[in-house]
Amino acid sequence: MAERAEVVFVDGVRTPFGRAGEKGMYWNTRADDLVVKAIIGLMERNPGVPGERVDDVAIAATTQTGDQGLTLGRTAALLAGLPKSVPGFAIDRMCAGAMTAVTMMGASIGFGAYDLAIAGGVEHMGRHPMGSGVDPNPRFMSERLVGEDALIMGATAERIHDRFPAYTKERSDRYALRSQQKVAAAYAAGNIQADLIPVATRSDSGWGLATQDEAPRPETTLEGLAALRTPFRAHGRITAGNASGLNDGASACILASGQTAKELGLGVKMTMVSFAFAGVEPEVMGLGPVPSTEKALRKAGLSITDIGLFELNEAFAVQVISFLDHFGIDDDDTRVNEYGGAIAIGHPLASSGVRLMNQLARQFESHPEVRYGLTSMCIGLGQGGTVIWENPHFNTKGASR
């Protein structure tokens, strides 16, 4: 059997992330138009990628209905102007939709079936709130297959606090504050804007242009966070301040075989090393990244000490803390979420996986001393996903990190 092909991350982009709801900047924007805009922007900044060479387009969404339905990969490809010969499909793994699109396209390239693919995701949580229109099978409750709050993400995060008393609300708030501060610093340094595709917006006051994320609150203070209410439980620990918000946004990236990238003269930002998904108890879904990371490390023949940069999706501060604590990493370790995370930027479910990859790819450029990095996230219904990447800019003469 032939050796698997090298899988490379050529480039990734996203729209600015908006706040979900009537006051959000994308309230009058269609969900499919967001991901179409991301794909158009991606192709425009990669003129060396011939549209007809794209083997497949995988686009994820959690709530696939209305303007966020209709086999998104195919419809978005057509709307973005890709040749009609390019196929596409839709995919769903809740929060890890885009991550799964990337791993499935990456696996297809590694297997040798594809040379070039587009993967991404979209979530318009304003038009399509999480869980809208679903009808959970009554057996989940009648046979006690899951706890009654397993489908309420904030409640599952409260259960992590219950299970680990050392993860206090103060610790979560402190982590959340740092996320806001790191995002503000990354914006000031121009590290985030480079991968954003501007989107035209429409509101009662007229037309506008979204050029940056709507959710960050750089003015956040520890005192302000401490005063926020706990909506999932009286005297609880989860607040709007130490959790990701409800957001709208889309992302897309180009993956290729190493040979195809070389043939077309494409830049390589990262190389895929391994990936893994794992299941945990749905009641504590935030713990999912621990077994998925252990599995991905095992498959790569690496240990956690080999990882020099971490991009962890901040669904909840306590969820990230549980990951760091398990692997013996400090809450404020500089290798973790250098540009901040979802607590400040937002988490439009199925699109977030590529955001993590965009940020890791940019950090790889400025950290030639780092050889390996990972992107990881928790997933609703009790799952975790992890992708390990290698830095093409790694300088063997530099100090390893």
Q: What is the pLDDT of residues 4-14, one digit of tens each?
A: 999 999 999 99
| Distances, alpha carbon 391 to alpha carbons 10, 33, 309, 367, 395, in Å | 12, 32, 10, 9, 9
pLDDT beyond 70 at 55: yes
Q: What gap in Å lies between CA 9 and CA 102, rounded to an integer?
A: 9
- Residue 131, pLDDT > 90, answer no
Q: How far is CA 192 from CA 128, 202, 254, 360, 366, in A?
A: 26, 24, 18, 11, 13
Residue recorded with tokens 């023949």: 301
Q: What average pLDDT does range 116-125 have in this prediction?
A: 98
Which residues sit opposite 256 in a β-bridge?
A: 8, 116
Mean pLDDT of the chain: 96
Q: pTM (2 decimals)? A: 0.97
For residue 206, the cross-strand partners are 203
Q: How many CA atoms lie within 13 A of 298 on its CB side?
A: 9
Is 95 catalytic? The answer is yes
Q: What is residue 328's predicted lDDT score, i.e. its pLDDT? A: 98
- Catalytic entry in 95, 128, 161, 253: 95
Residue 2 has pLDDT above 90, yes or no: no
pLDDT (tens digit, 9 = 90+) per residue, 136-172?
999 998 999 998 888 889 999 999 999 999 999 999 9
Query: Does the annotation count 378 as an active-site position?
Result: yes
pLDDT band for position 401 (cuts 50, 70, 90) = low
pLDDT in the model for residue 398:
57
CATH number, domain 146-191+273-388 = 3.40.47.10
Question: What are the sequence ranges of the domains in the chain?
Answer: 146-191+273-388
Of 124, 128, 161, 347, the active-site residue reads 347
The predicted-structure confidence for 344-375, as pLDDT tens digits, reads as follows: 999 999 999 999 999 999 999 999 999 999 99
Q: Tally the C-alpha atoms within 13 A of residue 115's C-alpha that lie toward its C-beta.
A: 14
Is the pLDDT at 3 greater than 90, yes or no?
Answer: no
- Active-site residue (options: 128, 161, 253, 378): 378
Task: State the CB neighbour count (10 A cutoff) for residue 133.
Answer: 10
235 is catalytic: no
